[in-house]
Every structure is written in structure tokens, then in C-alpha cells.
């Protein structure tokens, strides 16, 4: 039940369809903590209004993020270069519902079953990439996205420093039963510096962090919800 309430509240805040009292400003959640996973999915019509292309090295000219997240990504990449001489590439950012569907169906055809495909690819609407707050990153000398990125010097640095810029490693090893996704050291998610710092220090999935906020007596919200279907 708590998960359901949390997802509904975060969804409403992100899409701006309902009004909240001033208490929402005190905990500064907003769309940055919008929970998207295999249980809580985005509508096929949802498209962020402020998508921009970060000024970073990328593998294509269509790597997009929401403006705030894009600015943070630029600072993250710049710090990696200036502090350690590490070069990071942006590989995949915003993905529309239609793009997700195409990727998902292609994976099913390749591996031969829906069950096997879901171990590696999110069903349409269940990907954080549709939020415009996630980015898959890599290095110039590594082709494709694979777990080996987590063992590279760039991957280790990202894991230890992404929170300084508002990002978390969304799908860590050992969290599969909670997040619903395999270990993906290349997938970073923007939540804002304050939240990223707390999530990093506690070393917990976003799902557990959001539950903590709403379980706390200090962060109770008054809200009105209409027409929320099962």
C-alpha cells in the first residue's frame, strides 16, 4: 500500500496535474523523485517539456535530458576530466514510449521470450529514460553498455562521485529484487544533490529512500487525488 501511495504522489508531483499545499516545498521532492519501475509506469503520452542536449561528448546528436539534469551532467563530466583526466561519454538519455516499445520488442525477438527479455530491457513505460532524468554513460574505449564499466577507473569514480552532482547509480548489484532490474553501473539517475547525497550515504535504492520520506512523521503531506485508476 505504501509503495502505491508513494508512486501516485510522485507521479502527480512530476506531471503537475494536481495541487498540493505549501508543505511540498519543505521537502523539495518535485519530479526529481518520480518513481518509475516495473510496477509504476509512465503513460505513453508523457514527454518532458524541457528536454535539451547536454554539452558533453556523446555517441549521437539526439542524447537528451531535462534541462536541470543536463546541466548537472555537464558538471559531472567536467569534474571527471579536470580532477582525474577521465573522459566520459553520454550514450542514451531520453527515450520516448514508442522507442522503448521498439527496443523491447526487438529484445524479445532476439532472446525468444518475454521473461528473458525483461531481465535486460524495460517494458514500455517502465523505463526511467522516459523521464528525461536518466543517462547511460560510458567511455570512448569501451563499446556498448556492460557490467565491466563498473570495474573501470571511470566507472569507479562515477560510483564514488556522482552524488556530488545530484546523480545516483540507480541499479546496483544486490538491489535486483527491489528495483526489478539487473546491475547497471552505467545507468545514472538525477534526483538533485540533497537527495543524492543521502541515498549515497545510506547506500539504498531509490524505492527505499522514497518510502523513508513518507514513513517519517516529519514529512507528512496533505494531498487531493482524483481519478487514479488501478
**Residue 5 φ then ψ, to 5°:** -65, -45
Strand intervals (E) in the chain = 51-52, 65-66, 89-92, 134-138, 167-171, 184-190
Active-site residue 74, yes or no?
Answer: no
Q: Does the domain spanning 42-204 belong to CATH 3.30.70.520? A: no
pLDDT value of residue 118: 81
Q: Do the beta carbons of residue 55 and residue 73 sit within 8 Å?
A: no
CA 55 distance to own-chain centroid = 19
Of these residues, 184, 194, 207, 208, which one is catalytic?
184
Angle between helices 2-15 and 206-215 (to 10 degrees): 100
Domain boundaries defined on the chain: 42-204
pLDDT tens digits in sequence order for the chain, 230 residues long? 445 444 444 444 444 332 222 222 323 345 588 888 888 888 899 999 999 999 999 988 889 999 999 999 999 999 999 999 999 999 999 999 999 999 999 999 999 888 888 877 889 999 999 999 999 999 987 656 889 999 999 999 999 999 999 999 999 999 999 998 889 999 999 999 999 999 999 999 999 998 888 777 554 543 322 322 22
Amino acid at each position: 500500500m505504501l509503495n502505491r501511495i508513494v508512486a501516485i504522489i510522485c507521479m502527480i508531483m512530476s506531471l503537475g496535474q494536481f495541487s498540493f499545499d505549501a508543505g511540498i516545498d519543505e521537502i523539495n521532492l518535485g519530479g526529481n523523485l518520480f518513481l518509475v519501475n516495473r510496477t509504476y509506469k509512465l503513460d505513453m503520452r508523457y514527454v518532458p517539456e524541457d528536454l535539451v542536449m547536454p554539452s558533453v561528448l556523446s555517441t549521437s546528436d539526439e542524447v537528451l535530458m531535462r534541462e536541470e539534469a543536463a546541466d548537472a551532467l555537464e558538471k559531472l563530466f567536467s569534474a571527471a576530466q579536470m580532477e582525474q583526466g577521465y573522459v566520459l561519454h553520454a550514450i542514451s538519455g531520453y527515450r520516448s514510449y514508442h522507442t522503448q516499445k521498439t527496443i523491447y520488442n526487438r529484445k524479445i525477438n532476439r532472446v525468444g521470450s518475454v521473461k528473458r527479455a525483461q531481465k535486460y530491457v524495460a517494458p514500455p513505460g517502465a523505463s526511467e529514460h522516459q523521464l528525461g532524468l536518466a543517462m547511460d554513460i560510458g567511455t570512448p574505449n569501451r563499446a556498448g553498455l556492460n557490467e565491466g564499466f563498473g570495474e573501470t577507473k571511470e566507472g569507479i569514480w562515477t560510483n564514488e562521485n556522482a552524488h556530488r552532482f545530484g546523480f545516483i547509480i540507480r541499479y546496483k548489484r544486490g538491489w535486483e529484487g527491489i528495483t526489478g532490474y539487473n546491475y547497471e553501473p552505467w545507468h545514472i539517475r538525477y534526483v538533485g544533490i540533497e537527495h543524492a547525497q543521502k541515498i549515497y550515504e545510506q547506500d539504498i535504492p531509490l524505492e527505499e529512500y522514497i518510502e523513508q520520506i513518507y514513513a517519517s512523521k516529519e514529512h507528512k503531506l496533505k494531498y487531493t487525488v482524483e481519478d487514479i485508476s488501478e
